[in-house]
Amino acid sequence: MKSILSLTLTAIFAMIILSGCDPKKSTNNDPGSEICNNNIDDDGDGDIDCNDSDCAASAACQSNNTNNVNNTNSNIEICDNGTDDDGDGAVDCDDLDCLTFQGCNNNNNNNDAGDVTDTNPWDFDADAGDCPPEMIAECTNPVPSGCGATEIPNNGLDDNCNGQIDENSTSCIPGDVRQCFLGPPNRRNIGACVDGQQLCLSSGGEFGTWGPCEGGISPTPESCDGLDNDCNGCADDGLCCLPPINCPQSDDPTLSGAMPFTDFVIDGGNYYFGTAVRWEWTISNGPCDEVLGQRAFTVNGNNQLNYVADTQQITLNFNLSGWYTITMRVYYNATEYYECTFILKVEGPGLRVETCWDTAGSTDLDLHLMKQGHGTNWCGSEDCRFANCKGNSFWAQSAWNQADSSIDFCIGTPSGSYFNTNYGVCKNPRLDLDNQWDVGIPENINVDYPTDGQTYRVGLHYWTGSLVTHPVVNIYCDGQRLATYGYPTSNQVTFTDSGSVCSASDLWRVADVLTEVDPVTGAVTCTVTPLSSGGNPYITQTSSAY
């Protein structure tokens, strides 16, 4: 939520900049009156509208005379004549009306004596007397913290606000993923605040404990950036500033609609309207990025870990679903900058299963998906895998009788052009990526429109290679990550025996996924049940049975 005051003053200063009013110019060549808002030089003196001093008293040209409540006249403040033209007690660059005047760019209104000099002209220090009362943003009705005396178990919140989530709570199933929020409970999803995610970590047996809450945004001290950083329902409250930036919340419309295999553009110009010396963009990595050693997405075509983009616009393309933390820095001089941090949610529809492994490039693992009641053995004709679920081989798609989906869901994938040319739709189930000895490439299977009440079983097979391999499997439902198996080290799974026959090599039956579809909205919810025994993954070397 943006501060009304901030938006109003932003509009005011935008009018100053666009109008270019200069009250020092006045040479009428015609006795006719200058109309001050029609973009015509009515009196023929060479000056149009607010550039004509005849318009100094016009309401249309008072945009730089409203920042101070104690103005004693309707004169415009001239910013370099040593005179308090508008009678508000502030002369030239000490007057907030001169905020955008070029000659005042080095005014240091925002620092007390003894502070390090900050050349940012957009901040003001109330303690130093540089801030008029109307520019101090107040929060008259802040969101209460919701902190309680005791912790409520297993709700993913820090109910007693001691900096811990669900301490001393009951155990969880290793691999389960849930949403969490580390902050006062009532500040959840307010302003900048966004949920993170917790992964259940194995304790060596059937049950585990919840790991740290990662990837979200918790309350931070309020910053002059147009955003409600402390998540109390008010932006920039307690500050005295008019920033040239409005940092977006993570649910901003400009950040919605990101999907795997589709270019997504973020333009810093949507949020920053000052002069930029340079830009810096950083994007967090997902579990597969750490395993693969490079990103399963590109930023301006680059997929190297820790790559920092330096353009105003960035183009992202993700192979995998996930919630990615993005930080944008825009420098307004050589060393000082504004910073915005938000979460980009990359979410595909329906059921998505994704895998990666640490020896990619030297080994070949294959992802499998079976529909309960269709087939009794892995590697059969109704087992969706590389042999029958890619663009040019759709035996499993025919056998499963799943609904087709929009071509938009797969057009950017390696088989997208094939689906588009031959069908004009995406087939389901569908293997979008098949990693065959490739470095840094994941593998995935999708069912865009799963069947209500249907159970799907996820499998992973060690096809070929001789290295000890550690695979990771992520399961998503309508964009929400519900499970991660095989990551991090405490949850690690090991493959040792490869082979092209499912009954004579490592075959991991990962989990069952029960899908439920809302009959009205079509929203999909899933229940994921890992197929482990005593905490050990269900891996066989001599059987291909379902």
Q: How confident is the model at residue 381 (pLDDT cuts 50, 70, 90)?
A: confident
Q: Among 136, 135, 100, 137, which Cα is nearest to 121's?
A: 100
Structural element, H or E, at residue 420:
helix 416-422
Listed in order, strand segments (DSSP E) in 374-523 are 405-406, 425-426, 430-433, 443-447, 454-464, 471-477, 480-485, 507-517
Q: Which amino acid belongs to residue 35?
A: I
- Whether residue 4 is predicted with pLDDT greater than 50 in this model: the reply is no
Q: Among 3, 274, 323, 350, which Cα is nearest to 122's?
A: 274
- Whether residue 155 is predicted with pLDDT greater than 80 in this model: the reply is yes
Q: What's the whole-number mean pLDDT along residues 230-236?
A: 96
Q: What's the whole-number mean pLDDT along residues 360-382?
A: 94
Half-sphere exposure of 370 (CA within 13 A, CB side): 23
Which residues, including other chains, have CB under 8 Å from residue 2's CB and lie 6 or more apart? 226, 227, 235, 246
C-alpha span between 454 and 458 (Å, rounded): 13
Interior/surface letters 476-496, b for 16+ CB within 10 angstroms, e for the rest: bbbbbbbbbbbbeeebebebe
- Contact indicator for 239, 130 with CB cutoff of 8 Å: no
Q: Which of the residue ranges 96-100, 134-138, 535-539 would you say has the lowest mean pLDDT?
A: 96-100
Q: How confident is the model at residue 484 (pLDDT cuts 50, 70, 90)?
A: very high
Q: What's the whole-number mean pLDDT along residues 455-475?
A: 97
C-alpha span between 50 and 68 (Å, rounded): 20
pLDDT score recorded for residue 196: 97
- DSSP bridge partners of 357: 471
CB 74: neighbour CB atoms within 10 A? 14
pLDDT score recorded for residue 390: 87
Q: How confident is the model at residue 437 (pLDDT cuts 50, 70, 90)?
A: confident
pLDDT score recorded for residue 71: 57
pLDDT in tens, 239-255: 888 889 999 999 999 99
- Top pLDDT among 478 and 69 is at 478
Name the token pair of 298: 């590109």
Which residues, including other chains, have CB under 8 Å from residue 401's CB and lie 6 or more apart? none
pLDDT score recorded for residue 79: 80
Q: Which amino acid belongs to residue 364?
A: D
Question: Which of 71-75, 326-330, 376-380 shows the highest mean pLDDT?
Answer: 326-330
- Reduced to 3 states (helix: H, G, I; strand: E, B; else coil), residue 10 is helix
pLDDT in tens, 331-341: 999 999 999 99
- Whether residue 451 is predicted with pLDDT greater than 90 in this model: the reply is yes
Name the token pair of 26: 């006045």
Residue 292 DSSP one-character state: H
- Whether residue 65 is predicted with pLDDT greater than 60 in this model: the reply is no
pLDDT score recorded for residue 103: 60
Residue 172 DSSP one-character state: B
pLDDT score recorded for residue 489: 93
pLDDT score recorded for residue 120: 60
- Top pLDDT among 35 and 484 is at 484
- Whether residue 5 is predicted with pLDDT greater than 80 in this model: the reply is no
pLDDT in tens, 499-539: 999 999 999 999 999 999 999 999 999 999 999 988 899 99
Q: What's the whole-number mean pLDDT along residues 357-367?
A: 95
pLDDT score recorded for residue 500: 94
Q: What's the whole-number mean pLDDT along residues 488-499?
A: 96
pLDDT in tens, 262-315: 999 999 999 999 999 999 999 998 879 888 888 999 999 999 888 999 999 999
- Domains parsed from the chain with CATH numbers: 253-346 (2.60.40), 351-540 (no CATH)
Q: How confident is the model at residue 108 (pLDDT cuts 50, 70, 90)?
A: very low
What pTM value is reported for the model? 0.77
Q: How confident is the model at residue 13 (pLDDT cuts 50, 70, 90)?
A: very low
pLDDT score recorded for residue 293: 85
First to last CA, the chain: 52
